[in-house]
Structure 1
């Protein structure tokens, strides 16, 4: 019986120790205050915005015409001289008209604006056609 009491004597403190340690472990899992994490939540990824440069502005009809005229000088100098004189005359008349445009009535403005646009388109079409014909002649001469 003394043996049983000795064994029982060790069991009770051991059992009490296990209960207390289990309670302490469980108490460590429950917190009275909210747990603050040391890790901050990942922020929403910022979308990568790739800015593309704006496209170059479309060349104006008059600037395209000037480019064709410059190319025509190399391709066909004789035709270039005639078209250059026509082009300079058209620009000179347009410059004169722009000086008095503010003094004329709306009907005259509309008529002359349309005439200037027509003449410009006509001359530029002739220059473009001359350039194309000159380039074709140069290419056909290649054997």
Structure 2
């Protein structure tokens, strides 16, 4: 799947929502919805975790954009990986409610790991690229 420009942006913006939903839904198994007026501190913590994950992903997207100007080949590699991850996450989101809770927890964790790993790799590529540039200035 090859996404570019606005299409990639729309997909990239959808992933924080998916990750947030995955983070929140992992705690729903076997529980009844809590009325809005009686939310427990646990629900607040879960929302905060989802917000943090969304913010981390937005930072990852910014770093991926920055990588394009630092290392074009690295950018293409990471963007392809990101696009594959987005495609898989979208397919999983469509099927997620059809599988049991244990499977949901496992696959949710897998996608959180893959996102974390990709973002760490992008961050490392940006840092290495900027450091290399700095070294060449000497």
The aligned residue for residue 125 of structure 1 is 120
Matched residues in 1 for 2:110 and 2:96: separation?
13
Matched residue SS, 2:137: coil
1:138 matched to 2:133? The reply is yes
**Normalized per residue, which structure has more helix?**
2
Matched residues in 2 for 1:104 and 1:70: separation?
35
Given candidates 73, 85, 88, the residue that maps to 1:90 is 85
Given candidates 89, 99, 102, the residue that maps to 1:104 is 99
Deviation at 1:141, TM superposition (A): 0.6
The aligned residue for residue 70 of structure 1 is 65
Matched residues in 1 for 2:105 and 2:89: separation?
14
* Cα shift readout 1:55-94 (whole Å, capped 9, x = no counterpart): xx86622211111100000011111110000011001100
Task: Report the count of equivalent residues.
Answer: 87
Q: TM-score scaled to structure 2, two decimals?
A: 0.60
Structure 2: give runs of 5+ residues left out of the alignment. Answer: 1-50
Deviating 4+ runs (over 6 angstroms) = none
Q: TM-score scaled to structure 1, two decimals?
A: 0.58
Tell me the C-alpha RMSD between the 2 structures.
Answer: 1.3
